[in-house]
Amino acid sequence: MLPATGHATDVERFDEMVETGGWLCEEAPARECIDHGWNYADRNGDGRLDKGELQTLRQELNSWAEWKKERLSGKDRTRLSIGRAIANSLKLDDLIDSYDEDGSGAITRAELLADIELDERPLPDILADKEATDWEAIGNRLGPFGSLLGSLGAP
Q: Give me the mean pLDDT over the 83-105 stretch.
A: 92
Tens-place pLDDT, residues 4-60? 445 578 899 999 999 999 999 999 999 999 999 999 999 999 999 999 999 999 999
Q: Which 3-state string (H, E, C) describes 115-149?
A: CECCCCCCHHHHHHCCCCECHHHHHHHCHHHHHHH
pLDDT of residue 1 exceeding 50, the answer is no
Task: Enumerate the domain spans of the chain.
Answer: 10-152
- Entry pTM: 0.85
Q: What was the pLDDT predicted at 116?
A: 96
Q: What was the pLDDT predicted at 150?
A: 55
User: Where in 31-134 does DSSP place strands (E)?
Assistant: 48-49, 107-108
Confidence of residue 2 (pLDDT cuts 50, 70, 90): very low
pLDDT of residue 155 exceeding 70, the answer is no
pLDDT of residue 129 exceeding 90, the answer is yes
Q: What is the mean pLDDT of the chain?
A: 88
Pairing, β 107-108 against β 48-49: antiparallel
